[in-house]
Chain A
Amino acid sequence: MVDVFTGESSELDLPSPPDHDRMQRERGLKIRSKMDETGIDAMVLLANANVTYATGATWPLSDAGRGNVERPVAVVVAGDEMPHLFTPYEAAATLGIDADHFHGPTYLDAEEGVARFADALAELVSSGATVAVDEITGAMHGAKQQIFSAWPPRSASDVMRDVRVTKSPEELALLRHGLWITEQAMAEVQSALVPGARQTDLTATFLHRVFELGAEANVLDPIWQVMPDVKAELPWTTHGDVACPLLTTERVLDEGDVLWVDTGIQYGGFHSDFGRTWIVGGEPSERQQAQYEKWREVDDVVRSVARAGVTASELTAPARAVFDGQDPWMAHFYLGHGLGLDLAEPPYVGTDLGERYDNRQVLEAGTVIVIEPVIWDEGHSGYRSENVYVITDEGCVCLTDYPYDPYGR
């Protein structure tokens, strides 16, 4: 992991290289402490991110269709420091999981797979134990009497959400490196951005470069959405707000097109997130500069209040205040979202869960949030970018280290 940071994230003192064993020991302690607190005896984890967290296993994520079938599954048993891993992927000695905790693949989409897994689980967990799960496949649902002592079963997602929300220095080091890979590749895409290129050509350059730089996988089909001047030129929406993100096609880019860029990759299991607005082959007008400056105002005010102990509402209120009382974000999304082993994860800031939810969301030190305001200027398109912040006791540190060009020059 060799990377050079020029922004304020260089101030963070993060381990290089990160100590994998230490990271997993700490994750294990957090999980077992939470299980103890919530009275859960064992957890069966299917969600890719939860398996990575519990076991330290990472693999290049596949398309969801394949990922549902060829998926590693983890079983965490209270009182056992070592997780069990059922995986179709090669045994990685570096995981530090003993042979008796390392199992072959399990196929929980198949009735036979569930029956076999139930037998294996019975060997690991005593009958009558409280077992929590994060997902129930159709076949598990069909065999609910055989595998669950109670229906509905306890939720492992709640436990995992709580333990995953704050990141250790090791985790931040991995996450920051993923951001670095993303930004290096984006710099190449942006420098080659010319009228006449197709959206898919930008993807080709981006994907080629992120893999060369060591990405494990791409996690979001890169978005290069051309934003028109008025909403009416976008597809109809259920709420009347802008339609975004729209899928990438072979659309040819024209000079002056306003592009909203958004994507993420996987490194060390962590996802990166990148968002900027670009102008194809041109410079922003005064009006467009003003949109950008308003966006910076929102970002600055959020940055100035973000610190451990504040609630999500304490971020949304000043953001609204600088945007004439309106929400400077898309109605179907949020002002901000957590980032970690998932591209969008709790805490969420400014969703349709509403004020009561936001009032209860208290940011903790070590939480990573992506702040992604949108300044829509009907008649003149709009500006959208994303910055990734880690919350600290004193405030927050911006992990994004990418310029706003061609804006702000």
Chain B
Amino acid sequence: MAAETLPDPEPLRVARRDRLRAAMDKHELDLLVLGRVANIRYASGVPVLWNAGTRPFGPGCVIARATDDVYVLSTWDEGVPKEIPHDHLFGITWNPMNYVEVVKTIAAELKPRRVGTDANSPLFAQLLPMALEGAEIVDGGPALRDARRIKVADEVDAIRRAVAVAERGLEKVIAEIEPGATERSLTGAFMDAMASEGVTTPATQDVVRVMMPSRHPDGVLAAGDLVRIDGGVVVDGYSGDVGRTWRVGSAGDYSGATELFRRGDDLRARLLEACRPGGRGGDLLEAYRLAGEAAPTRPVAYGLGLGFDDPVITPDLPLTAGAEPLDPGVVIAVSAVVADGHVGAVASRDVVQITETGPEVLTTSPFWNPA
């Protein structure tokens, strides 16, 4: 991170805007009205203040297909790229009718026939038609997914930088793992390491968890505990993740942990093998089945990019996973989770880029080694 707030680099903006324009063409969307933070950044290149959790929908960015104009919700021009002039900025407002006016003014000249939004609310489902008279308002999600699911080279580089920060945070946590340390103190150590690298925005704040039936209720680590470290950071908007499981203390009775680590290695190898170009997201679910492991409650894999991306691969969405092509340019975080009700659980998460020639694993963190 630099000492000033800059827009995303121009080549990245241009590459993303090209993909978005192609998607708008394909889906015949004359206008996109975006509320999701990641979509706004994808389209505009403007960094925005990070806050945790979901946000209510409101128009934060409008993109016009006919003119390539981008209009952004920003009261100031810091971080706003040169192709977005001052008269394309609209300030923070608490009155929803002001948003209606903004959209109405933009639409007045363009007369869009089809308008996509990336989310909506009962309020804006009522108000937007007032601003877009005569236009059909549809789900813009498929267009955004088409644009975002394949990463351009500069995006992969951004993800690599984020992965590197997450991995150094993980290293810091591992160095502090010892009996008596707590999930909270270790999570604090991760955040400290991240911010000391100049990155103040985590992707997840559920970083350290003891994965034992005997977990201390306050998350205090005991010798022999299996500890899951799940690091995720957001660097220049892009997410990078890494997950490992560590055992507290190196000597003593492994009480089945060694076998659990072996199963985790086997599953991970099968999952990475399944990340082939031409494959399907469902192949990862199949890898779990072939390894004889139950798929976890949370996604087996999800796309990385500006935040969470498609594909989201989980047994809860079997048709989606089965249809999801693993094309070159897809970057996913893949989770290998194995559990034993008596011993505990071992989990890892790696970032994998699908390339023409096969999977490229972007994470390089070591694994726990009993020796």
CB atoms of B76 and A107 under 8 A apart: no
CB atoms of A63 and B50 under 8 A apart: yes
Known: A104-B297, A218-B191, A353-B94. A141 touches B52 (CB 8 A): no
**Interface band, chain A:** 35 or more
CB atoms of B203 and A62 under 8 A apart: yes
CB atoms of A59 and B49 under 8 A apart: no
Q: How far is the CA of A236 from the CA of B75 in the complex (A)?
A: 8
Specify which chain A residues have a CB less than 8 angstroms from the CB of B309 in the assembled complex: 65
Specify which chain B residues have a CB less than 8 angstroms from the CB of A217 in the assembled complex: 52, 205
Specify which chain B residues have a CB less than 8 angstroms from the CB of A223 in the assembled complex: 49
Q: Indicate with 1 or 0, residue by residue over B297-334, a CB within 8 angstroms of chain A CB atoms.
A: 11100100011110010101111100000000000000
Distance between A90 CB and nearest chain B CB, rounded to angstroms = 8
* A364 contacts partner chain B, Cβ-Cβ < 8 Å: no
CB atoms of B200 and A243 under 8 A apart: no
CB atoms of B308 and A69 under 8 A apart: yes
Q: How far is the CA of A208 from the CA of B320 in the complex (A)?
A: 39
CB atoms of A136 and B119 under 8 A apart: yes
Q: Which B198-249 residues sit within 8 Å CB-CB of chain A?
A: 198-206, 232, 234, 239
CB atoms of B122 and A132 under 8 A apart: yes
CB atoms of B94 and A248 under 8 A apart: no
Among B74, B187, B201, the most chain A Cβ lie within 10 Å of the Cβ of B187
Q: How far is the CA of A332 from the CA of B188 in the complex (A)?
A: 33
CB atoms of A138 and B122 under 8 A apart: no
CB atoms of B198 and A250 under 8 A apart: yes
Q: How far is the CA of A251 from the CA of B190 in the complex (A)?
A: 22
* Residue from the list A109, A151, A156 in contact with B141, Cβ < 8 A: A109
CB atoms of B54 and A48 under 8 A apart: yes
Q: How far is the CA of A237 from the CA of B196 in the complex (A)?
A: 31
Specify which chain A residues have a CB less than 8 angstroms from the CB of B119 in the assembled complex: 135-138, 141
* Residue from the list B54, B125, B188, B308 in contact with A136, Cβ < 8 A: B125
CB atoms of A211 and B185 under 8 A apart: yes
* A124 contacts partner chain B, Cβ-Cβ < 8 Å: no
Specify which chain A residues have a CB less than 8 angstroms from the CB of B49 in the assembled complex: 220-221, 223, 245, 247
Q: How far is the CA of A141 from the CA of B36 in the complex (A)?
A: 15
Known: A60-B204, A69-B308. A250 touches B302 (CB 8 A): no
* A252 contacts partner chain B, Cβ-Cβ < 8 Å: yes
Distance between A390 CB and nearest chain B CB, rounded to angstroms = 23
* Residue from the list A61, A157, A198, A213 in contact with B121, Cβ < 8 A: A157
Select from chain B the residue with minimum beta-carbon distance to A90: B297
Specify which chain A residues have a CB less than 8 angstroms from the CB of B206 in the assembled complex: 59-60, 62
Specify which chain B residues have a CB less than 8 angstroms from the CB of A63 in the assembled complex: 50, 52, 201-204, 232, 234, 239, 307
Q: Indicate with 1 or 0, residue by residue over A218-249, a CB within 8 angstroms of chain B CB atoms.
A: 11111100000000001111110001011111
* B114 contacts partner chain A, Cβ-Cβ < 8 Å: no
Chain-B contact segment, one of A110-118, A280-288, A320-328, A397-405: A110-118
CB atoms of A251 and B54 under 8 A apart: no
Chain-A contact segment, one of B2-10, B13-21, B250-258, B359-367: B2-10
CB atoms of B56 and A113 under 8 A apart: no
CB atoms of A65 and B195 under 8 A apart: no
Known: A67-B52, A154-B122, A266-B52. A61 touches B205 (CB 8 A): yes
CB atoms of B205 and A66 under 8 A apart: no
Select from chain B the residue with minimum beta-carbon distance to A342: B53
Specify which chain B residues have a CB less than 8 angstroms from the CB of A177 in the assembled complex: none
B residues near A (Cβ < 8 Å) are 1-5, 36-38, 47, 49-57, 74-79, 86, 89-95, 98, 117-123, 125-126, 138-141, 144, 184-185, 187-189, 191-196, 198-206, 232, 234, 239, 297-299, 302, 306-309, 312, 314, 316-320
A residues near B (Cβ < 8 Å) are 46-49, 59-71, 88, 90, 104-107, 109-113, 116, 132-142, 151-157, 198, 200-201, 203-205, 207-214, 216-223, 234-239, 243, 245-252, 266, 332-334, 343, 348, 351-354
Given A64-B52, A138-B140, A204-B192, 13 more A-B residue pairs with CB atoms under 8 Å apart are: A47-B54, A47-B56, A62-B52, A65-B307, A68-B307, A88-B297, A105-B298, A141-B120, A212-B184, A214-B184, A235-B78, A237-B91, A250-B3
Cross-chain pairs A/B with CB under 8 angstroms, 20 sampled: A46-B54, A49-B53, A62-B204, A64-B55, A66-B308, A67-B53, A104-B297, A105-B298, A107-B316, A136-B57, A138-B120, A139-B141, A157-B122, A157-B123, A198-B198, A200-B198, A207-B200, A234-B76, A235-B77, A250-B1
Would you list the 6 A-B pairs with minimal beta carbon distance, nearest first? A65-B307, A138-B141, A152-B125, A211-B188, A204-B195, A207-B191
